[in-house]
Amino acid sequence: MKRIYIALSLVLAALCFASVETGFISGKTDSFIAKIECADRLMSRLEFDDALKICKETEEEWYDSAKFIDTLLIHDYVDAIGISISRMTAFAQKQN
């Protein structure tokens, strides 16, 4: 009977960890999506200086949080997101 209780407590702990991880990643995702959409709107209105500022802030915030996110997600996904954000910054610099 002790084994069942131990197994159930481990399953409960895993579910708690998974829900916290999902909530954290979801919150970060929403934050980055909002910034990227804002930069996209600014670039479509040809306001490249403001868009560049937002892109640089997004890139810096991504690299600060990517260290922790890298432990939670697949490394290839994290690298691809970083590359895409860098490309977005380059497009804003070139006013493309």
pLDDT tens figures, 45-65: 888 888 888 888 988 888 888
pLDDT tens figures, 74-90: 778 888 888 888 888 88
Task: Spell 55-72 as b/e; 16+ CB within 10 A means b.
Answer: beebbeebeeebeebeee
Q: What is the pTM of this model?
A: 0.72
Q: How confident is the model at residue 28, as a pLDDT?
A: 85
